[in-house]
Amino acid sequence: MAKSIDVSDLDIYYGDFKAVEGVSMTIRARAVTAFIGPSGCGKSTFLRSLNRMHEVIPGARVEGKVVVDGQELYGPDVDPVEVRRQIGMVFQRPNPFPTMSIYDNVLAGNKLNAKRMKKSESDDIVERSLKGANLWTEVKDRLGKPGMGLSGGQQQRLCIARAIAVRPQVLLMDEPCSALDPISTSAIEDLIHELKSEYTIVIVTHNMQQAARVSDYTGFFNLKAAGEPGHLVEYNPTAKMFANPDEPSTEAYISGRFG
């Protein structure tokens, strides 16, 4: 079941460097939230903090709270691996596992969770996930072929299928279309619209038109000055954000006057 995410006074550090400061917001369930802002403003860092992926960098830490369904994700007894199972991630560039077939790519997360399955159960998960990613009809007759043999757009949808195979509550997407052609981008955007009925989806994008097309809510991140931490300037329904933002800097960024 999709869940909302409550963030309170979140600061994110890499060693002594504070990358993001003072973020408080509620990310709505069964909606698409987009984060926009100039490069280096911390939006991808913040996205990765929502499932503790930033912790793979030595010295990374947070102060503040991230709460999903009443559970503090940074609580002392919380397993980061379990957090990442509940909150899946799709990266900027498609990253199918190169030595695996399409079939095994979809099941990779389930196997990582050490779940033993019958062949019939595995088949059901693969079909459900590939259908959920709108890829089944294109690959159903070549599931044993390498995932790397697919086109770029198909590879990204395969990565989405892999993410949803473990039935997460939230899907994070870090610029999921930046490496794709316009036709593949349109397919991914259509898929995002379909998936939000079941998942809470959070995306980072540099494409203002994409944010306007796919998201229900938009957050604008920015830097107060060079070398300062990134912060959340404004967070509003997307229709308001693009028509009548609260902050002058938001309007300046969306209109292309800076960034």
In a domain, 192, yes or no: yes
Residue 48 domain-assigned (yes or no) = yes
Give the per-residue pLDDT at 113: 67
Residue 154 located in a structural domain: no
CB atoms within 10 A of CB 112: 12
CATH code, 25: 3.40.50.300
Q: What does the pLDDT read at residue 175?
A: 93
Whether residue 110 is contained in a domain is answered as no
Q: What is the mean pLDDT of residues 62-89?
A: 92
φ, ψ at 109 (rounded to 5°): -65, -40
Q: Using one digit for the tens of pLDDT, what is the confidence trace for 83-99?
A: 988 999 999 889 999 99
Domain count, the chain: 1
pLDDT exceeds cutoff 70 at 259 = no
Per-residue b or e along 91-101, where b marks 16 or more CB atoms closer than 10 Å to that residue's CB? beebbbeeebb
Q: What 3-state class would DSSP assign to 114?
A: coil
Amino acid 158: pLDDT:
96
67 domain-assigned: yes
Kindly indicate the confidence band of residue 49, based on its pLDDT and cuts at 50, 70 and 90: very high
61 pLDDT exceeds 60? Answer: yes
Cβ neighbors of 145 (< 8 A, separation 6 or more) are 101, 102, 139
> pLDDT by residue (tens digit) across 222-256?
998 888 999 999 999 999 999 999 999 999 999 88
Residue 189 has pLDDT above 90, yes or no: yes
**pLDDT computed for residue 177 by the predictor:** 92
* 52 inside domain: yes
- Residue 89 falls inside a structural domain: yes
Average pLDDT over residues 74-80: 91
Domain containing 214: what range?
5-96+169-254
CA angle 188, 52, 68 (to 5 degrees): 80
List pLDDT tens digits, range 130-183. 999 999 999 999 999 999 999 999 999 999 999 999 999 999 999 999 888 899
pLDDT of residue 114: 63
- The answer to whether the CB of 19 falls within 8 A of the CB of 12 is yes
Cα 19–Cα 41–Cα 45 angle in degrees, nearest 5:
55
Q: Tell me whether residue 142 is in a domain.
A: no
